[in-house]
Structures are given as C-alpha cells and as structure tokens.
Amino acid sequence: MLRDAVRSLAEAKIAPYAAAVDEEGRFPQEALEALVANDLHAVHVPEEYGGAGADALATVIVIEEVARVCASSSLIPAVNKLGSLPLILSGSEELKKKYLGPLAKGKAMFSYCLSEPEAGSDAAGMKTRAVRDGDHWVLNGVKRWITNAGVSEFYTVMAVTDPGKRSKGISAFVVEKSDPGVSFGAPEKKLGIKGSPTREVYLDNVRIPADRMIGEEGTGFATAMRTLDHTRITIAAQALGIAQGALDYAKNYVRERKQFGKPIADFQGIQFMLADMAMKISAARALTYQAAAASERGDADLTYQGAAAKCFASDVAMEVTTDAVQLLGGYGYTRDYPVERMMRDAKITQIYEGTNQVQRIVMARNLP
Ligand SMILES: Cc1cc2nc3c(=O)[nH]c(=O)nc-3n(C[C@H](O)[C@H](O)[C@H](O)COP(=O)(O)OP(=O)(O)OC[C@H]3O[C@@H](n4cnc5c(N)ncnc54)[C@H](O)[C@@H]3O)c2cc1C
C-alpha cells in the first residue's frame, strides 16, 4: 500500500518536473511541496518527535519510488534522514525535541557535513575546528559537497575538538543556517542529480551554545560512521529506484519501436538484455531490503550489510541505466528521453556516502 501510494504521488506530482529540474539545474520545489503535503519528506522521524515513525524498510520504499521518477527529488527524504540520524542516534532529548519537530513538520530540512576539500574518503583527516569558549563552541572551517546546502535550515557538522586524537578527537554539532558566520559556496556544476544543490558550507567563527553538541565530546566521528551504516541503505534504495525507472521505460520502448519489420522486443538479443537488467534489480532489491531489516533490528553485521547493499545496488544502477540507453539506441542518447538522465544520475550512487572502493574496504574489514 505504501509503495502504491508513493508511486501514484511520484508519477502525478514529481515525474512531470523531473526533466525540467535536470535541464535547469533547479531545486525540485514541486517535489518538496508534494512530499511535505503527504508527510513523506522525512518519514523516518520517530512519532514521539512528531514524525511518521516509518521503519527502515518503509523509508527505503519511499526513497526508491521517488528515485524511480526523479533521483534529485529522492535526496529530500534521503538527506533528511542522513542529516538528522546523528541526532536521533546520539543526541540529547532536548536537542531532539528542538530540531526533529520542525523537520517532521516540513518546516526545515537537515544536511550532513562530513566531507571537506582535503578529506573525502579519509574523512577523519578533516580540518574544521571547534574550540570551546566558556559555554559556547566556536567553529571554523570549510565543508565540501554538502547536499541541500543553502536549502536546509539545520546542519550536522563534524569538527575536530582535540587535534591530537584523529577520529577520537572529532565531535558532532547542530549548526543552523541562520547562525552568524555560516555561508555557502556556489552550487557545483554536476554530471547528474542536477536538481539537488551541492555546495560548500563555510564556517567563519560560528559561535554556538555548548548544548548543540551531539553526544559526548570526541564521539562525533563514531556517530557519523554509525549513521552511514544505516543511510547507505537509503542510497541503495535510490540506486534501485533509478534502475527500476530505467528498466520500466526501456521495457515499454522496445515493445513500440519497430526495426526489420517487427518490434525490437521480439529479438532475443534485446530480451536477454532486459532479463539481465531485471535479474540484477531483483538481486539488488533483495540485498537492500535485507539490509533495511538489519538496520531496523540493529544487527551486529549491519556495517557489512549496509556497505554491500549500497555497493551492489549502485553498480547495478550504473549497468542497468547504461543498458537502457543502449536499448533506446540513438534516441536514448538524447534528452528527449529520460534514460540518459537516469544514467547520469546513477553515477553518483557509486561515489557518495563512501565510494564503492571504500565500501569494499568496509566489507573486507567486516566480513560476515
Ligand atoms: C553530488 C555529491 C553530493 C555529496 N553529498 C555529501 C553530503 O551531503 N555530505 C558529505 O559530507 N559529503 C557529501 N559528498 C562527498 C562524498 O561522500 C565524497 O565525494 C566521497 O566520499 C569521496 O571523497 P572524494 O570526493 O574526496 O574522493 P577521494 O577520497 O579523493 O577519492 C578519489 C578516488 O580514490 C579512491 N580511493 C580513495 N581512497 C582509497 C583507498 N584507500 N583504496 C582504494 N581507493 C581509494 C576513491 O574510491 C576514488 O575513486 C557528496 C559528493 C558529491 C559528488
């Protein structure tokens, strides 16, 4: 029922704008409004903080169905979870009440600020500094590649509080867009997910109350990594949705397109491609939903499962979308058809929340 409801909404209110959002590189405002109106913008927020209280699998289904028509729009529910999960996992009750309510109501979005210009895969090498000053912390530094930066009101920022301790000297904070000293870089000009703004976040002597720290001092990096264990599954969901959207489009196209006097769907070479695409998507879906169940239960092997689902589903999304372009021939290579956008959008799922090389490192360190 959830899937049907989200699919109908996505097809009616999000799909019609997907091509324009991509072409114009603009924020999918129509999608935000439709998702908020239907309480689907941040379904993971627990009921006690005013949210829908969706479990990990339901959240995955929402993201998957939105991504099926518009990957950029799927980053609204996905990044709202990414940005706020550190707070949900490790924040104080006061902090949760203050920040999760506006998120659940659709009055504010949340972003996640881990990466920096010189600290990507090696995120613990970050330089952003937080220095204690009485009952405040003062933050200085640059966060890079921040999804929904400028649109979000709230930012979970990881910063070094004890430079000698590397990952154990990093703490997490909630920073507000309106805090003096917060500003944003120009939107990045990207290959895909062009409707999702990606910008630098500048922290210039940002002075915030000490109670904005999430959890204990020095636990920020551990919280950031624990968050990714859960949210990589939402990237898998996004990848899965993109792949399914490409297969659905290609499947219909080959039934209509005639060459050599018959629909190209009648050729076995085409049928085998479609069968392989469907098979890979089924496998990716099984892995993703299994990982979502592990996330919900807090299974001991969640780190492995989250990395495996993200890595596999994103590789499948890249293969399936590339094949979808192939199935449409020259038409697939143009912006008159959606599969080239899907192929460009799929690529990012192999890169963010840890590249697929990093996922393989994570899996190798946590073999089941
Ligand atoms: C559109 C977009 C949105 C993003 N959104 C966010 C966000 O909201 N918040 C956030 O904090 N970050 C975000 N990121 C950052 C993203 O997570 C990083 O780009 C990613 O982790 C890779 O870091 P890097 O770009 O610095 O690449 P690098 O770390 O420089 O990696 C370059 C290459 O080297 C490989 N590599 C690195 N180390 C190893 C190794 N040990 N073994 C093998 N190969 C290795 C990588 O796999 C990659 O192929 C976003 C990025 C993009 C492009």
pLDDT in tens, 259-308: 999 999 999 999 999 999 999 999 999 999 999 999 999 999 999 999 99
Tokens matching residue 212: 């904005």
Tokens matching residue 326: 């192939």
Ligand 1 nearest-atom number relative to CA 190: 1
Q: Is 158 in the pocket of ligand 1 (CB under 6 A)?
A: no
Q: Is 303 in the pocket of ligand 1 (CB under 6 A)?
A: no
> Helix or strand or coil: residue 188?
coil
Distance 32 CA to ligand 1 centre (A): 27
CB neighbour class for 242 (10 Å; exposed up to 12, middle 13-18, buried from 19): buried
Tokens matching residue 305: 């499962």
> Helix or strand or coil: residue 170?
strand
Distance 120 CA to ligand 1 centre (A): 5
Write out residues in the chain with pLDDT < 70, as ranges.
none
Which H or E run contains 159?
A: strand 154-160
> Helix or strand or coil: residue 154?
strand
Q: Is 351 in the pocket of ligand 1 (CB under 6 A)?
A: yes
Torsion over CA: 359, 362, 365, 368 (sign): negative
Catalytic residues: 353
For residue 208, what are the CA distances in angstroms to 133, 202, 261? 10, 15, 70
Number of neighbouring beta carbons within 10 Å of residue 9: 21
Q: Compute the distance between CA of residue 308 and CA of residue 299 in angstroms, rounded to an integer.
A: 14
The whole-number pLDDT of residue 309 equals 98
Distance 302 CA to ligand 1 centre (A): 21
Out of 74, 121, 221, 310, give the residue to mutate to test ligand 1, the one with the largest number of ligand atoms within 8 Å of its CB. Answer: 121
The whole-number pLDDT of residue 276 equals 98
The whole-number pLDDT of residue 144 equals 98
Tokens matching residue 313: 């589903």
Which ranges in the chain belong to alpha helices (H)?
Answer: 2-9, 15-24, 29-37, 56-69, 71-90, 93-105, 220-256, 268-297, 302-327, 329-332, 339-349, 356-365
Q: Compute the distance between CA of residue 152 and CA of residue 78 in angstroms, rounded to an integer.
A: 13
- Contact predicate 88/320, CB 8 Å: no
- Contact predicate 146/353, CB 8 Å: no
- Contact predicate 54/62, CB 8 Å: yes
The whole-number pLDDT of residue 105 equals 97
Distance 227 CA to ligand 1 centre (A): 16
Q: What are phi and psi of 6, to 5 degrees?
A: -70, -40
Tokens matching residue 188: 């990045």
> Helix or strand or coil: residue 192?
coil
- Domains belonging to the chain, first-starting first, are 2-105 (1.10.540.10), 110-218 (2.40.110.10), 221-365 (1.20.140.10)
Tokens matching residue 252: 């219909």
The whole-number pLDDT of residue 195 equals 98
Q: Is 355 in the pocket of ligand 1 (CB under 6 A)?
A: yes
Out of 22, 118, 146, 352, give the residue to mutate to test ligand 1, the one with the largest number of ligand atoms within 8 Å of its CB. Answer: 352
Q: Compute the distance between CA of residue 356 and CA of residue 311 in angstroms, rounded to an integer.
A: 5
Distance 331 CA to ligand 1 centre (A): 32
Give Rg (Cα) of the chain.
21
Q: Which residues contact 128 (CB under 8 A, 6 or more apart)?
A: 116, 139, 140, 141, 142, 143, 157, 158, 159, 160, 203
Q: Is 151 in the pocket of ligand 1 (CB under 6 A)?
A: no
Q: Compute the distance between CA of residue 210 and CA of residue 78 in angstroms, rounded to an integer.
A: 28
Number of neighbouring beta carbons within 10 Å of residue 363: 17
Q: Is 192 in the pocket of ligand 1 (CB under 6 A)?
A: no
Q: Is 146 in the pocket of ligand 1 (CB under 6 A)?
A: yes
| Tokens 């469907």, residue located | 278
Out of 128, 351, 360, give the residue to mutate to test ligand 1, the one with the largest number of ligand atoms within 8 Å of its CB. Answer: 351
Ligand 1 nearest-atom number relative to CA 79: 8
Q: Compute the distance between CA of residue 90 and CA of residue 23 in angstroms, rounded to an integer.
A: 39
